Amino acid sequence: MQKKPNAADGPVGDRIRVKRLSLGIRQADLAKAVGISAPYLNLIEHGRRRIAGRLLRDLAQALGVEPAHLTQSAETSVIAALRQAAVVPFAGAIQTEPAEQFAGRFPGWAALMIQAAEHGGALEQRVAALSDRVMHDPQLAEALHDVLDAVTAIRSTATILAEEQDIDPSWRNRFTRNVFEDATRLSNTAQGVVEYLRTGSAHAGSQAISDLDRVNVVMRQMGYDFQLLDEKGPSAVADLVNQADLQDHPAARQLLQAHLMQLAQDAVALPYQRLQGVTADAQSIMDFQAQHAVPWDRLMRRLAFAPARADAPMFGYVACDISGGFMPRKDTDLLQLPRAGAGCAMLPLYQSFLQPMRPLQMSIANISAPMQRIETLSFAAYEGPVRPGAPAQLRAHMLYWADHGAANADILHVGMSCRLCPAPDCPARRITSPLAGA
């Protein structure tokens, strides 16, 4: 009695066939070597006959491999990754057998598809991280639209290749070609996006989304190099403002002017020489502040915007008023902050409003880079006199820098904004995110 084809035999047959072809052995020759007919070997290779015992050992010997090589699910990780490539949360898992069959029969294409899917996943994360900018940047939006189209095509095609058992070979070839094309397109688009982001600052003035953003962009373009303020004090402000490409944006000019004036006053009150002993260490900064009784906001701005020196630690700085609205800031690669709108409510910056006039030291990590520990010092201070019955005006300031200690699981994770944050159970979540729980 003929045994029914067993799907579990399929991969074994596939591996025999793949190995035989890789060795350049004809089916008839292999069959003869192990004492069976070529048609019978053909049935084995196509999963229509079960194989075990002596015949398996003989075939393995003839192919120069261990029997386990033919029977073990050596491609478990490949299959799992392949299955992952074809899965989306609400579509459920695909059947195991077709994925194994596909991986066994087309190992190269399977690897390519996994790579493309992983690449797509990474790009999806990048899309999310950049979405804040995308919403206001048509050029980038178009590029990322292209990314999503390519990811869509790959996901859809990968699902077909992994799930469908009886695809005509011409269609299979067509789809694998499509995956290759889309993977190539993804790669090219990704490179284009990276290049755009790398060089985009040259054009960022025209792409800024608000006057505050314009000021931040201009300061970034200037490399936060305000040495002139240390040399000449407030008289240098006008020159620096004139250097900025803000002629058509009077409000942004005014904001930049006010910010630079603040920095100039900081420079006069706290010359950089006095900061020489301060290191990128919370205790060192707190000791300095206690010893010199320097206002916290001034100390933070000085450390962040002081003239660049090779040996100076890289500090980032951000401030906001009690509404959460940001002030001009110094960005670094460490922390992602939205260009517009509210930031992550978990930021120590906001937490400091709960304890005005007391420095708050907290270690955090970006949820997108959880292994990079970031040290922060925050301080919320009253602005102007506090009058009974009148709303108190506070501003919070946060200085942050890289901490080279390893982040642990207990560290506070912050995102860029709710919409773009994948944290599944964040108590501070305001709005749902398509990434939450991803």
Under the criterion CB under 8 A, does residue 90 sit at the interface with another protein?
yes
CB of 340 to another protein, least distance (A): 14
Measured between alpha carbons, how far is residue 244 from residues 39, 190, 198, 252, 296 in Å? 79, 31, 20, 10, 28
The encoded tokens of residue 14 equal 């596939």
The reply on whether position 311 binds another protein by CB under 8 A is: no
Q: Provide the minimum distance between the beta carbon of 85 and another protein in the complex, in angstroms, as a whole number.
A: 12
Q: How far is the CB of 88 from another protein (least distance, A)?
A: 4
Sign of CA dihedral 224, 227, 233, 235: negative
Which of 302, 337, 303, 295 shows the shortest CA–CA distance to 320?
337
Using alpha carbons, list the distances in angstroms from residue 295 to 109, 156, 358.
62, 58, 12
Report, in Å, the least distance between residue 95 CB and another protein: 13
Closest distance to another protein from the beta carbon of 107 (Å): 22
User: Smallest Cα–Cα separation from 339: which of 195, 179, 178, 201?
Assistant: 201
Contact residue for another protein among 88, 390, 406, 409 (CB under 8 A): 88
Q: Which of 220, 209, 202 is nearest to 141 (CA)?
A: 209
CB of 154 to another protein, least distance (A): 8
Tokens of 256: 């930049």
Using CB under 8 A, which of the segments 70-78, 161-169, 214-222, 366-374 binds another protein?
161-169
Q: Does residue 425 interact with another protein by CB under 8 A?
A: no
Instruction: State in angstroms the smallest separation of the CB of 71 from another protein.
Output: 30
Rounded Cα gap, residues 396 and 378, in angstroms: 7
By the rule CB under 8 A, 167 interacts with another protein: yes
Q: Per CB under 8 A, which of residues 354..393 are in contact with another protein?
A: none
Q: Tell which positions 102-141 bind another protein, by CB under 8 A.
A: 120, 124, 135, 141
Residue from 164, 211, 245, 321 in contact with another protein (CB under 8 A): 164
Which is closer to another protein, CB of 55 or CB of 141?
A: 141
| CA angle at 281 for the pair 278 and 285, rounded to the nearest 5° | 50
Per-residue tokens: 266: 């900081």
**Shortest separation between residue 249's beta carbon and another protein, angstroms:** 26
Interaction between residue 230 and another protein (CB under 8 A): no
Q: Residue 158 or residue 267: which is nearer to another protein going by CB?
A: 158
In the 8-state DSSP scheme, what is residue 330? Answer: B
Residue of 157, 236, 143 whose CA lies nearest to 190: 143
Residue closer to another protein (CB basis): 56 or 161: 161
Range 140-159, binding another protein (CB under 8 A): 141, 144-145, 148-149, 151-153, 155-157, 159
Sequence-distant (≥ 6) Cβ neighbours of residue 375 within 8 angstroms? 280, 281, 282, 361, 363, 400, 401, 402, 403
Binding mask 182-221 for another protein (x = CB under 8 A): x---------------------------------------
